[in-house]
Chains A and B, each alone.
Chain A
Amino acid sequence: MSNSTLAAHTATFDTGSAASLPSGKAGVWWFLASEIMVFGGLIGTYILFRVAHGGWAEQASHVSWRLGATNTLVLVTSSLTMILALNASRTGRHQRAAHFLLLTVLLGLTFLGIKSIEYTREIREGFVPSSGMFWSFYYIMTGLHGLHITGGIIFNAILYFGATRGTLWSGGHGNRIEFAGLYWHFVDVVWIFLFPLLYLS
C-alpha cells in the first residue's frame, strides 16, 4: 500500500471532527515523545550525578569548547538548510529542495567528522569511557546522539536521492521532508542542551 493510497484513504475516512493530524506527522511526534524520555532520562541522570559528585570540573576541562561550539554552529545551520528544503518543496521548487537536502546531509557529515576528531584526540590523551564518571556520561550521551545524527543523515540522503531522481515528488512523498525535518530538528535541540551540559559547565 503506497503512501498516496493511504493519504487518499485518510481523506475518505474523515471522522468529521476538526482537521485531523496527517498520519505521518502524528507518528513522528509520538516517536519524538518517546525519544524525549530516552534523552531526558540520560540528561537528568547526568545532571544529578554531576551535582552529587562535586562538578567534575577537572575531568570536564579536557573537552574542547571550541570544537563543541563549532559543532553547534554546524548543527544549527543544518536545521536552517533542512527547513529551507521543506519550504522549497512546499512551494514547488524541487531542485532547490534537493540542494538543501544535500547541504543538510553534508553538514551532518561535518558534525560527525568534527566529533570523530574530538573522540580521536580524547582517546589518544587517555580519556576513554572508563576514565571517570564524567567521561562515561560524555561518551554515552554524545555516542547516542551521534547514532541519532547518523540515522538522520541516512534518511535525509535517501530523501535527497529520491528528490533528484524525481521519485520523491511523483510518488507524493514530499511530506516526508517534513517528517525527516521534525526528527532532525529534535536531534538539533538535544545537542543544544548537550553542548552547554558537557562543554560549558
Chain B
Amino acid sequence: MSSTTEHSDFDYVLIWVWLVALLGAGTLAFLLPIGKGAALAVIFGIAMVKASLVVRDYMHLKSERLLIYVIAALPLILALGLALVLIPDIVYHR
C-alpha cells in the first residue's frame, strides 16, 4: 500500500480543479455553434481526459503494478471488440 502515501491533499484538489475546468470546457463545446462533428470530438476527447485523470490519480493506477493494468485493460479491449463485431448487424442491417 506504499504506492499512494506521498500525495498531499493539495495534489488531489488540483486534479479536481482540472476536472471542473474540463467539465466547463466540454459543456461549452456543446453550447457553442461549432459544428456537430467537431463538437462531439472535443466533448468525448475531454471525457477521456477526465476519466484518465480520475483513474490515474484518484485510483492511483499510475503507481500500481502491471497486473492491475492488465485487469483494467482486458475488459476494455473485450468490450470494444464486442462493439466492433456488432457494427455490421446493428448499424448496417437494421
Contacts and interface: CB of A to CB of B under 8 A. Distances in A.
Is any CB of A less than 8 Å from a CB of B in the complex?
A: yes
Interface of A: 18, 21-22, 25-26, 29-30, 32-34, 36-37, 40-41, 44-45, 47-49, 51-53, 65, 69, 72-73, 76-77, 79-80, 82-84, 86-87, 90-91, 175, 178, 181-182, 185-186, 188-189, 192-193, 195-196, 199-201
Nearest to A195: B47
B58 A181 contact: yes
Which of the four size classes fits the interface of chain B? 35 or more
A186 B59 contact: yes
Nearest to B23: A72
B28 to A, nearest CB: 10
A138 to B, nearest CB: 17
B12 A80 contact: yes
Contacts of A72: 23
B27 A36 contact: no
A77 B27 contact: no
B79 A36 contact: yes
Interface in B55-94: 55, 58-59, 65, 67-68, 71-72, 74-76, 78-80, 82-83, 86-87, 90-92, 94
B16 A76 contact: yes
Contacts of A175: 1
A49 B90 contact: yes
Interface string B1-44: 10011011100110110011001001101100000000010011
Q: Is the interface of B mostly helix, strand, loop or mixed?
A: helix
B86 A45 contact: yes
Given A48-B90, A80-B13, A196 B68 contact: no
A199 B29 CA distance: 12
Given A44-B86, A48-B90, A22 B1 contact: yes
Nearest to A30: B71
27 contacts: A32-B71, A32-B72, A33-B72, A36-B79, A40-B76, A40-B78, A40-B80, A41-B82, A44-B79, A44-B82, A44-B86, A45-B90, A52-B94, A53-B94, A65-B27, A76-B50, A77-B16, A83-B58, A84-B12, A86-B4, A87-B12, A90-B4, A182-B59, A185-B59, A192-B47, A200-B26, A200-B43
